[in-house]
Amino acid sequence: MVSMLEWTVEYYKDAKGSEPVAEFIDSLPIGAQAKIFRLIGLLARYHVLLKEPYTKQIKGKVRELRIVDAIGKIRVLCFGYTDKRFVLLHGFVKKEAKTPKREIEIAEKRIQDYMQRHGGAA
């Protein structure tokens, strides 16, 4: 039985139908994939109540899912959208202490694109 409090988590899909986060996750070792899917499940269940060390608000609407694996610090950037939904925007392996500005900018551009194509408010 699914809790009424559970949120939907979906992949951002660009105008051509590509899902960059799905492609990123597929490129990772199976152990890292399992950790990401576990965290996505926690996000669906606890939504905005899920805090550090699992998620962190990093700029404006952009949140990061935080995974530590043998390959490094994996980040999946997302945002909360209407109808109790999170959209997974961008994934990368973090190599710097702070989340690089260029990675955040990719997520912000995808938020704008998503909002233009789907309407509503974040």
Q: Enumerate the domain spans of the chain.
A: 8-118
Each residue of 48-57: pLDDT tens digit? 899 999 999 9
Closest CA to 106 of 4, 12, 2: 12
What is residue 1's predicted lDDT score, i.e. its pLDDT? Answer: 38
| Residue corresponding to tokens 């890292």 | 32
Structural Rg of the chain based on CA atoms:
14
Give the mean model confidence (pLDDT) for residues 21-26: 98
Residue 34 has pLDDT above 90, yes or no: yes
Q: Tell me the percentage of the chain whose pLDDT exceeds 90.
A: 89
pTM comes to 0.92
Give the mean model confidence (pLDDT) for residues 23-32: 98
Residue 3 has pLDDT above 70, yes or no: no
Q: 66: exposed, middle or buried (C-beta count within 10 Å: 0-12, 13-18, 19+)? A: middle
- Domain spanning 8-118 has what CATH number? 3.30.2310.20
